Amino acid sequence: MAINALASGLPLLLLTLIFQLQLRCGSSGITSPYRRRLQASEDLPVGSEFLRPPDLAGCGNAPEQVHITQGSVTADSMIVSWVTPSQPGSLAVTFGNETAKYSRTATGNITRYKYANYTSGYIHHVKLTNLEYATKYYYRLGDGECAREFWFVTPPKSGPDVAYTFGVIGDLGQTYDSLNTFQHYLNSSGQTVLYVGDLSYADHYPLGDNTRWDTWGRLVEPSTAYQPWIWTAGNHELDYRPEFSEVVPFKPYLHRYQTPHRSSKSTSQLWYSINRASAHIIVLSSYSAYGKYTPQWAWLQNDLQNINRKKTPWVIVLMHSPWYNSNMYHYMEGETMRVQFEAWLVQYKVDIVFAGHVHAYERSHRVSNIEYNVVNGQCSPSRNESAPVYITVGDGGNIEGLAGNFTQPQPNYSAYREASFGHAMLEIKNRTHAFYYWHRNQDGEAVKSDSTWLTNRHNYVKEKRSLPRRRLPL
């Protein structure tokens, strides 16, 4: 009788166990069912109102493609860059705290380059130094009929509870979708853009038509002239094209986009770090050597060791090629850099890693995969409270279109993924909490398609040593 009762209850027991097992084993993340067209996007025509040079009456050499970026580790300087098309024009930037009243002048340098059959305009770079914190500056480029005025606001001096809002954009390009993403960002509360690489996609054109670098500079000027964009180089910045004898990697990018690398003891524009508000931001180059003993390897080790978490508790790493990517597009391309650097990011409790490259959106849980030593077979990502959250935002909207083919099933480390264009925002509130969210372009700026609170690894997770890792449910 007892055996019969047990037998009759067995199927129910098994069903319950299977259900519970599914809850534990099933993907803990969300693959968004949201779908939109997946065909390649189309670039804005060169004559588009968004890509035209400024039309200043009487000036045939107007400053254009104006962009600014932080000029030193400590944010007390700003690099102002612009292009004049036909002549050097004025070499100076005049600036001050009132519009049209400039108390100071700075001068810098001009560079030009040739690429295939293209010759660049006059590319100006001027550093404004000794800036006050939390102050609005007006600055003017050009003289007379060619004068143009812009402004920017410096961040508060770095401190653990300095609130600050970053936008995060990647792989933007210059299509109608790119414009959509960019205009969404213009309506945001972002104070600085963390740009994770692949800018103009000029290399899509025959001979890597560098006039598309110029049009991209004009497209983004409504933001880049007014707030710093923190630049990361992507594969579309390489411009290594032996087939038409262009063999100097990153030539157009390095002429056009300066970074404050020397200030952070880097020997290359392609990797560097800055402090801004309560964040220490590290920029890595996915397409430069990073093996043991290389300059980038040595620099990163030194930089991580010297972060002052009492001043900048948030540590954010930018790179182009993601380490945790469950999209078939560019699958595993970031793996060798992950193997090289991931243990350091866990050791130093990096909070967030932003990457681009994959034209879709994905956010991970806090995971690491640093146990493997060739012989132990432990090569699965596992939950690790000392590890960063990995976020891929290569969804700016470029000409190559969306990457809609995710691996199935969704891996346990992946919290949310969706093949839509958009941009992300990071609102740092204080030394322990930040609010992160992502927008898809089809929704209004007020709609957050994915969002989460992030807690600081240094201040919120009190343990001084790495916490024991808990493997994901099998």
Residues 81-140 close enough to bind Fe ion by CB under 5 A: none
Beta carbon of residue 226, minimum distance to Fe ion (angstroms, whole number): 26
Closest by Cα among 197, 187, 185, 105 to 143: 105
Category of 248 on φ-ψ map: left (φ > 0), alpha (ψ -120 to 50) or beta: beta
Q: Kindly determine how many residues on this chain lie close enough to bind Fe ion according to the rule CB under 5 A.
A: 4
Beta carbon of residue 292, minimum distance to Fe ion (angstroms, whole number): 25
359 binds Fe ion (CB under 5 A): no
How far apart (Å, rounded) are the C-alpha atoms in residues 393 and 421?
9
Q: Which of 171/450 has CB closer to Fe ion?
A: 171
Q: Which of 204/433 has CB closer to Fe ion?
A: 204
Beta carbon of residue 441, minimum distance to Fe ion (angstroms, whole number): 19
Q: Tell me if 141 sits within 8 A of 80, measured CB to CB.
A: yes
Binding range to Fe ion, per CB under 5 A, among 181-189, 192-200, 270-278, 360-368: 192-200
160 binds Fe ion (CB under 5 A): no
239 binds Fe ion (CB under 5 A): no
Determine which residue in the list 234, 322, 411, 422 makes contact with Fe ion, applying CB under 5 A.
Answer: 234
Determine which residue in the list 31, 90, 235, 325 makes contact with Fe ion, applying CB under 5 A.
Answer: 235
Q: Tell me if 332 sits within 8 A of 338, measured CB to CB.
A: no
Neighbours of 93 (CB within 10 A): 24
Beta carbon of residue 445, minimum distance to Fe ion (angstroms, whole number): 26
Q: Which of 66/317 has CB closer to Fe ion?
A: 317
Tokens standing for residue 436: 């992160």
Helix axes 335-347 and 295-305, enclosed angle (nearest 10): 20
Beta carbon of residue 283, minimum distance to Fe ion (angstroms, whole number): 15
How far apart (Å, rounded) are the C-alpha atoms in residues 391 and 414?
10
Q: Tell me if 129 sits within 8 A of 76, measured CB to CB.
A: yes
Per the residue annotation, which of 330, 365, 423, 439 is the catalytic one? 330
Q: Which of 216/314 has CB closer to Fe ion?
A: 216
Q: Which of 71/234 has CB closer to Fe ion?
A: 234
Q: Which of 151/205 has CB closer to Fe ion?
A: 205
286 binds Fe ion (CB under 5 A): no
Q: Which of 234/396 has CB closer to Fe ion?
A: 234
397 binds Fe ion (CB under 5 A): no
Binding range to Fe ion, per CB under 5 A, among 15-23, 185-193, 350-358, 452-460: 350-358
Is 330 marked active-site?
yes
Q: Tell me if 443 sits within 8 A of 37, measured CB to CB.
A: no
198 binds Fe ion (CB under 5 A): yes
For 2, counting Cβ atoms within 10 Å of its Cβ (0-12 exposed, 13-18 middle, 19+ buried), the class is exposed
Residues 23-52 close enough to bind Fe ion by CB under 5 A: none
C-alpha distance from residue 471 to each of 62, 381, 383, 462 (Å): 59, 8, 6, 21
Query: Strand locations in 292-344, DSSP E?
Result: 314-318
Residue of minimal Cβ distance to Fe ion:
357
Determine which residue in the list 212, 357, 365, 366 makes contact with Fe ion, applying CB under 5 A.
Answer: 357
Element containing residue 67 per DSSP (H, E): strand 64-70
Q: Tell me if 102 sits within 8 A of 60, measured CB to CB.
A: no
Hey, which residues are catalytic here? 330
Residue ranges in contact with Fe ion by CB under 5 A: 198, 234-235, 357
